[in-house]
Amino acid sequence: MENTTKIIFPYDQSLVKELPLINKNDIENILITAQNLFNDQSNWIPAFKRIEILEKAASIMNDRSEELIHIAISEGGKPYKDSKAEILRAIKGVKLAAEHISQLKGEQIPMGLTEASVNRIAFTSKEPIGVVAAVSAFNHPLNLAVHQIATAVAAGCPVIFKPSSNTPLSGLALAEILKEAGLPEGWLQVVLCDNETAELLVTDSRIHFFSFIGSAKVGWSLKSKLAPGTRSALEHGGAAPVIVESDADFSEMIPDLVKGGFYHAGQVCVSVQKVYVNEEICDRFVEQFSEAVNKLIVGNPFDEKTDVGSLITPKEVNRVEEWVNEAIEEGAKLITGGKRISDTTFQPTVLFNPSEDSKVSTNEIFGPVVCIYPFANREEAIKKANALEVHFQAAVFTKNIDIALDTTKKLNATAVMVNDNTAFRVDWMPFGGRDASGLGMGGISYTINDMTREKLFVFKSKSL
């Protein structure tokens, strides 16, 4: 009997669809298909054709945006307004990929600078790197698929895409759309499989580039098993620290941080998690922040009024509940929330001054929980913000340019937002973690460049 995966609507646990999983024996054919396309250069899709395919795909996505929003909500449980924003971003991402194809170019390398290098002209060109294996996460099922698939198409690479088994429908919908837009057979293969089969796939020597979005434990483990020569990019999570100084603008900051902390129920790799607030304004901050959090509407993600939907599985609700209870036992003060609403939803929660050793302080929460810590000395707060092994995006709120610059310089992060929340992202900016939070930078153009490699041409001639 063949194995299957059940796609469940996270909010009420109803069955959306059941799909077959491939097994280990299917991997060989999938790899042969991709490798054969890449090895025969007459198969390569010319740049003008790749632009055409991606532009057509963006247009089809635009026409079907409501259907794509519906699919994303039904499998991922992200509220309607946020899923709509995701689908619009995904369409823009496909357009960005199409646009970047014209920027794939090499450069002239000067010759004649020494006697040994006269009578030569040299230049580089960009080629597709080869077969791409991409493993994705559940939290932005369409947009992450675009970041891993549209980029490979733009670079001219055959791509094997493994979506999260919780949320494969958006990736499959994108594959259908690309096929309709003219992507030839075999250039995109979507595989649904268990972790063991996925490991067999990505560690095969025929994979030239491995793109991973998901948990650090899995990502670093897979990277350690890659075949020699396989390049990789990993994107994990962080604990998104924020420094709030006493001159911060409350009217802008409060709604911004609430959105950054509770968007998609905190299931975002740069979700606001640890907020260090100057003790001079801490009471006021806690009061205004918790007041705004209490106004958030938790409910069915299909309801357009819902601010916070469900967590991806009931198991995650149990975990968040355990972590919150543990933090309270270890000295945190519960300001608001702290309880499950149902098997699938958890109250938006604010904890005050949990121990720096509690799980909510040391691990990525990936749930609707924000922790607030008072500080007297900003240097100490920055030190605490930098204390973990994970470093992704961070933020500082102040109207003082010197404080903003000083804090930005000292926070260990790949990006520091000034007077904006840690979850800010547009798809053309570099985006990724450093240290334990990841390897390389994502962002449409950055990923396309990663999926190419350079070739140097050197011509020698007496005529030069």
Instruction: Provide the annotated active-site residues.
Output: 235, 269
CB-CB contact of 164 with 141 (8 Å): yes
Question: Beta-carbon neighbour count of residue 25 at 10 Å?
Answer: 8
What is the distance between the alpha carbons of residues 344 and 76, in angstroms, rounded to a whole number?
Answer: 12
The H-or-E segment that residue 141 falls in is helix 141-155
What is the distance between the alpha carbons of residues 9 and 75, in angstroms, rounded to a whole number?
Answer: 5
CB-CB contact of 9 with 77 (8 Å): yes
CB-CB contact of 413 with 392 (8 Å): yes
The first and second tokens of residue 191, run together, are: 């595989």
Kind of pairing, strands 120-128 and 188-190?
unpaired
Spatial CB neighbours of 110, under 8 Å, sequence gap ≥ 6: 122
DSSP secondary structure letters along 68-130: HHHHHHHHH---HHHHHHHHHHHHHHHHHHHHHGGG----EEP--SSGGG-SEEEEEEEEE--
Kind of pairing, strands 108-109 and 15-20?
unpaired
**Angle subtended at Cα 431 by Cα 429 and Cα 434, rounded to the nearest 5 degrees:** 145
CB-CB contact of 144 with 440 (8 Å): no
- Amino acid at the residue 359: K
Return the DSSP state at 425.
-
Partnered with residue 381 across adjacent β-strands are none
Q: Write down the residue that tokens 């600078």 correspond to.
A: 113
What is the distance between the alpha carbons of residues 292 and 287, in angstroms, rounded to a whole number?
Answer: 9
Return the DSSP state at 1.
-
